[in-house]
């Protein structure tokens, strides 16, 4: 098994009928600003450096972001926040994430999510998270030998990651740092969704600090 193979399986997955129906409906009912765009409208593969030391786990592709462009955190405001921070800390070659052909390359970082299909209201059901954990588990296993820092974005990603790792009793708090094992560290972050960034729940200094911390942990391991 390889990450490419997992991504092939993700794109062909049909385990969650509610989500598959939703992502097609979103494509059919697209807003005027996306008329003329081709929508991916399938489960969205993860992407990045297969030898990554930094793993970022989000919630799910955005309905008109990843679900439209076919790449996680691409074509939406969360992706812009993520890539600006990754570029500023040396994990990406470009501060923007616009389309699958934009030339963006991640360096030493891999980006995934707990659910690979955009859910209605950004709220996957527990059964859908459980179905998709199959892929996240494979990704965690395949990246285990290189990853030293995991950043979870938002409470659902944090809870799912802790559950998969049998990490109990940890509190979801932005900027918390927890040891996972002797070589791996978890950094907890709010999700860079508009709901958080537009309300000041997540400010730019709070956000960039997460990536600076990840960078310094990775560099300390050298």
Which residues have a Cβ under 8 Å from the Cβ of 166 and sit 6 or more positions away? none
Three-state secondary-structure class, residue 136: helix
Beta bridge partners of 179: 185
Beta bridge partners of 187: 151, 177
Q: Considering beta carbons, is residue 19 or 54 the nearer one to ligand SF4?
A: 19
CB of 19 to ligand SF4, least distance (A): 5
Residue 10 interacting with ligand SF4 (CB under 6 A): yes
Among residues 117, 154, 144, 163, which one has the least CA distance to residue 3?
144
CA angle, residues 59, 65, 69, in degrees to nearest 5: 120
Residue 117 interacting with ligand SF4 (CB under 6 A): yes
The footprint of ligand SF4 on this chain (CB under 6 A) covers a number of residues equal to 13
CB of 160 to ligand SF4, least distance (A): 12
CB of 42 to ligand SF4, least distance (A): 9
Residue 106 interacting with ligand SF4 (CB under 6 A): no
Under the rule (CB under 6 A), what is the footprint of ligand SF4?
Answer: 10, 13, 15-16, 19-20, 43, 115-117, 128, 131-132
């Amino acid at each position: 098994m390889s990450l490419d193979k997992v991504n092939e399986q993700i794109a062909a997955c049909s385990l969650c009928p509610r989500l598959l129906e939703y992502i097609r409906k979103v494509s059919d009912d697209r807003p005027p600003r996306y008329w003329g765009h081709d929508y991916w409208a399938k489960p969205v593969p993860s992407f990045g450096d297969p030898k990554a030391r930094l793993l970022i786990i989000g919630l799910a592709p955005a309905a008109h972001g990843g679900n439209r462009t076919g790449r996680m955190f691409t074509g939406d405001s969360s992706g812009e926040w993520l890539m600006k921070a990754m570029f500023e800390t040396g994990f990406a070659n470009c501060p923007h994430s616009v389309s699958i052909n934009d030339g963006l390359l991640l360096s030493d970082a891999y980006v995934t999510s707990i659910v690979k299909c955009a859910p209605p209201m950004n709220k996957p059901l527990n059964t859908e998270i459980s179905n998709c954990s199959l892929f996240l588990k494979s990704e965690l296993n395949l990246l285990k030998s290189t990853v030293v820092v995991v950043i979870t974005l938002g409470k659902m990603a944090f809870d799912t990651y802790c559950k998969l790792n049998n990490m109990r009793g940890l509190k979801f708090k932005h900027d918390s740092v927890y040891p996972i094992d002797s070589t791996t560290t978890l950094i907890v972050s709010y999700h860079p969704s508009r709901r958080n960034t537009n309300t000041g729940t997540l400010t730019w200094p709070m956000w960039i600090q997460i990536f600076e911390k990840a960078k310094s942990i990775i560099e300390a391991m050298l």
